[in-house]
Amino acid sequence: MEISVIASGSNGNCCLVEEKGASILIDAGKSCREIDKRLNSVGKSLENVNAILITHSHHDHLCGAGVISRKFEIPVYLTQDTYAETSLYGLNVKHFQLNKRFKINGMDILPVKTSHNVASCGFVVKNFGLFTDTGIVTNEMEAVLPKLKGILLESNHDIDMVINGHYPPFLKQWILSDKGHLSNVHASSFLKEKGDNLSLVLLGHLSGNNNTPELAKAAFETLVKRKIDYSVCSRDNVSGKWEI
């Protein structure tokens, strides 16, 4: 299986997962043109994508999905609750249910419940998991992590930066709530406690105002003390390709 992180941050998210002739995009939070350009830069193409999977309805995960779907005739997979929150009408839309497996071109996919201020989920694709935009580690996330070899996990913010930053109180409260985002410490603590079988960790969805790659890295290295291949995903560029 090959993982290509095309965009990861509060300014846009998109990840390509490929295995044995199956190719899926998880989220499409950049424009069609930008996603296509970034895919081309790592030798990939939207023409080969079989499906777009959407985690939730926020703009930084969804904004390019409609144009990509129409232009390349790619079906969009999302829950009925998420669909109701979007304007993706008239597309080739397919619905899935949380915690119920489905297949795309033989690729086994499990949608896993997350905790955000809109209907949301992460995905397990074989032994790779992707989880962003969740204020807590849900029971469903805890259950699947020990089985994973690779993960892209939100490490959104540094708690002190949020508390001492310029955001208004209501926004700070939301970010730090059970329906907000995982902090560096919470993300890395989860990986320390449940991630013994992981060989690849990608820390993603960093905030531009309340985090730095250095802080995310420091939390991970402080808490997860065993040797493991890990990277902090870029907010501004393609982060790279990995195999698991």
The Cα 148–Cα 151 span in angstroms is 7
The predicted pLDDT at position 21 comes to 86
The predicted pLDDT at position 90 comes to 85
Q: Of 8, 6, 31, 30, whose CA–CA distance to 17 is shortest?
A: 6
The Cα 118–Cα 62 span in angstroms is 13
Q: The domain spanning residue 71 has which CATH number?
A: 3.60.15.10
CB 175 within 8 A of CB 181: yes
The predicted pLDDT at position 121 comes to 98
- 235: its two tokens: 């907010």
Q: Residue 164 carries which side chain, given as an amino acid letter?
A: N
Q: What is the number of structural domains in the chain? A: 1
> Which regions in the chain score pLDDT beneath 70?
none
The Cα 179–Cα 127 span in angstroms is 26
Q: Of 81, 88, 96, 94, whose CA–CA distance to 65 is shortest?
A: 88
Q: Which domain holds residue 233?
A: 2-243
The Cα 149–Cα 138 span in angstroms is 19
The predicted pLDDT at position 65 comes to 97
